[in-house]
Chain A
Amino acid sequence: MRQIQDISNPMLRKNLYFIVLTLVMAPFTLRAQQPSVYKVSRMPFNTGVFSEISPVMVQDGIVFCSDRRFSAFRDRKTFEGRRLYNLYITERRDSTRWEKPKEINSERSTLFNSGPLCFFHDGKTVYFTSEVETGKIASKKNFKNHLGIFIGELSGTDILSIRPFPYNSTQYEVGHPSLSDDGKYLFFASDMPGGQGGSDIYYCEWVNDQWSTPENLGPKVNSPDSENYPFMHPSGRLYFSSDRPGGKGKLDVYYTMLTLGSWEIPSIVPEPINSRYDDFAFVADEAMQTGYFSSNRSRSDDIYSFSSTIMRKASCDTLVENNYCYEFLEENAVKWDTLPFRYEWKFGDGTRGTGSIVEHCYPGPGKYLIQLDVVNLVTKEVMYNEKTYSLEITDIEQPYISSPDMGTTGQRIRFSAENTNLPGWNIDSYYWNFDDETIAIGKEVDKTYNRPGTYTIQMIVSTEPDPGGIVSEACVCKNITITSRP
């Protein structure tokens, strides 16, 4: 599995850098209005000299791969002298510090690579990448070994009962496993024949107690370049890394989603997760608030954490459209089917209506005097202003999102808070969350969606601090449906 190996090999990655640098940035570039939504920081347990890659989130910490020197006396290399990757686990000591990583051993640790990996939801069964051939032939000079997926049981810091994934091959690479949250789907990278070029993302389904034949995710997801490091997020988003043209540079993290039986065109994860360096092996918590990824932006492969700076309110009022339509009725008259009277209404905006029940829509807020004239059909007498009613129409006090309800992918859509009605509020900030991990700030902003779907937009307004330092905040949300551009 050359691509997979290449990524863990800094020398080979240089070639990719060159290729990627010659590519043109295009369709996945986010709009300039887009502020940074993630804050990243380098993890303290990175060695700086060796590589730390492919973090996996476990209960109290992370498991990752590293080719670090184990101790002053112990070091591991392949038969050819290349450094070997092994698995490590580290736990969080407090908000900033982490415990010293401990090695996770298996029968393969001494002579072969271990990782990247993933866990079944029981936290015990581990799927990890390692070489397929472990016999004597593997130690022969110029022997080309291939990576495969192996399944074992984690016991303490040991992986036991290791067995091979049935679709491993001595002819091509299979690795970088990622299980879906329910354990029914296994995603992985492979350069098996029949792909789109380079390594591609494949998946198998757990059917009748075995993994089904691998399926390629197809040309919408896989490019002629390499795709690897899949990560199936509980939300259904599939993150992966690719060195395809149009990214931020070298390897970048993308995501796609299965919608109506079809994988969507991948979207790129914004900066600063992606950079002009290699950025790969992205994982995130369920709420997408925190996570980790690997990058060589500081020369060696290191693990970085990220936290979302996106504001998304758990409690946000749904936008209520202002309704200027009213029903007027002569309360006693409507109790009778027929009355010898005619009810003539003047709505106070120059329009009229007739009947014991009438409806009228006003053009907007204002004060209106409704006058009811009644004609007695027996005596022909007209009772002018039999009753009057003073109606004051005001807009609902709420932040207001003015935008279309529908749009298409690629369409620039304007969102405005111009009609916000919060009397007495000295609004200082309009914050927009577009529900696709993008935000914008401003009273009037433009947004282009790249993928179809229904998005719940939140707009959060906040005031300048009052003399007591108190900031008032209000949130309103509205759905917009984006369809594919025909």
Chain B
Amino acid sequence: MKLKRTIYTILLSLSLSGLLQWTDTLGQEVPGRDENITFLVTFGREGETSWGDDDFYQVFFFAIPRDFNQQFYIRIFDPDVGGEHDEIQGDFNTRTLFSVYGGQGVDPDRNEESKGLNNGLNYKGGNLLASRVFGDEPRYDNKYFSFGPFNPTAGDFNTKWNSYIFKIVCEGIKGDDGNLYRYFLSRDPENNVPIEGANAFTYEYTFRMWNDFKSVAHIYPYVDTGVIYIRLRNFDWDSDGNILVVSRYKQGIDAPISGEDDWAESRIAIEPPEVGSSLDFQFHKRQGELVKNNNVVVTLENQRGDALQFFSSPIGGVPVYQASILVRKAKPK
């Protein structure tokens, strides 16, 4: 009996090993600290896709650990469309709707449409917990707006991550300007106080590239079990530099990048030791003439066409390439 209990404990520990890595993280900034991305971007639906947003909405998920039982807030930095940060197209005439969802239908593992990958599908699955439309509102320009408080149990429970999942959707419901914003999951409505073990993820990342040559943006997709290769798709990169795919076993695979208003796709093999860890997609700006205000979209799927998640805080930590020298005898010359 004692032996059985010991085995059970070991198996449970092993099955939760991935989770343990997650609970080590402290990432509720979106974009995350390690991602080094300035802003998320969503354009008004009257905008041009060539400006860097392919669908004029963006879906993000927050995962609240099951053992966290306090209320929390989802804070949006610079939610308005006007003033600082945002991308004006003529006049600021854009209205953006932020909606927070919880309950059944949110968890993307059980509701494919919730991932928000295909236009027309119901990416608003779940119970609407809060929403607000922002226009050109100086009150929220360069400031935070907080949704909440929310009870963790109002989320959709995901057994794999042992967390309650919440979803926030940003839609450009009117106008053509670009709303540049950030999220923060917080225990406090007025300050950014992280929730230990929480994380945020998305399946389609629309963000603003840096306006300088040196800064390198990163996103960290998680390679789930069963992945043999990944198909990386990127949109409207304007041929602005290089995407290097880095892992502990990849020093930097140079993935093709898209041009203006089009998609580029590449297939990258995954090695077995990479499964269960994060990749590092590095976005290096092109040297020479600086491409400014470049907004881009990235998606990722496995060999079966299932979308892979980008975590704001990389699961298992930021992957660092480990060079490996192999020495073997050669034929004498």
- The residue of chain A having its C-beta at the shortest distance from the C-beta of B268 within the complex is A336
Q: Is the CB of B325 within 8 A of A328?
A: yes
Once bound together, how far apart are the Cα atoms of A326 and B329, in whole Å? Answer: 4
The reply to whether B333 and A332 form a contact with Cβ atoms under 8 Å apart is no
B332 touches A323 (CB 8 A): yes
Min CB gap A277→B, angstroms: 53
Closest chain B CB from A98 CB (angstroms): 57
Pairwise interchain contact B328-A339, C-beta atoms closer than 8 A: no
Question: With A332-B324, A378-B242, A387-B324 given, is the CB distance from A323 to B329 under 8 Å?
Answer: yes
Question: Which residue from A325, A328, A331 sits with its C-beta under 8 Å from B332?
Answer: A325
A5 within 8 A of B: no
A389: which of B249, B250, B254, B327 is its contact (CB, 8 Å)?
B327
Query: Of the candidates B242, B251, B327, B331, which one forms a contact with A374 in the assembled complex, judged by CB atoms under 8 Å apart?
Result: B251
A-B pair count, CB < 8 Å, reads: 80
A359 to B, closest residue via Cβ:
B330
When A359-B330, A378-B242, A379-B284 are in contact, do A336 and B253 touch as well, CB less than 8 Å?
yes
Q: Interface digits, A360-383 against B, CB 8 Å rule (1 contact, 0 not)?
A: 010000000010101010110000
B3 at the A interface (CB under 8 A): no
- Is B330 in contact with A340, judged by CB distance below 8 angstroms? no
Query: Do A326 and B252 touch (CB < 8 A)?
Result: no
Closest partner residue, chain A, to B282 (CB atom)? A378
**Chain A min CB distance to B271 (Å):** 8
For A322, the closest partner residue in chain B by CB is B332
Complex Cα distance, B250 from A339, in Å, reads 10
**Interface size of B by Cβ–Cβ distance < 8 Å?**
23
Output the least CB separation between A377 and chain B (Å). 9
Query: How would residues 216 to 234 of chain B score, 1 for a CB under 8 Å from any chain A CB and 0 otherwise?
Result: 1000000000000000000
Nearest CB on A from B273, distance (A): 11
Indicate if B323 sits at the interface (CB-CB under 8 A).
yes
Give the complex CA separation of A378 and B286 in angstroms: 9
Q: A339-B252, A339-B253, A361-B333 are in contact. Are A331 and B326 (CB under 8 A)?
A: yes
> Which residue of A328, A331, A378, A391 has the most chain B CB atoms within 10 A of its CB atom?
A378
Task: For chain B, residues 303 to 333, give those with C-beta under 8 angstroms from any C-beta of chain A.
Answer: 321, 323-333
**Are B251 and A341 closer than 8 Å at their CB atoms?**
yes
| A325-B330, A326-B329, A339-B253 known; A378 vs B324 contact (CB < 8 Å) | no
Q: How far is the CA of A378 from the CA of B245 in the complex (A)?
A: 12
Contact B327 A340 (CB under 8 A): no
B interface list, Cβ under 8 A from A: 216, 241-242, 244, 249-254, 284, 321, 323-333
Extra contacts besides A338-B254, A389-B325 (10): CB < 8 Å? A323-B330, A324-B332, A325-B329, A326-B327, A330-B326, A359-B333, A361-B330, A374-B323, A378-B241, A379-B216
- Contact residues of A with B, CB < 8 Å? 321, 323-333, 336, 338-341, 359, 361, 370, 372, 374, 376, 378-379, 386-389, 391
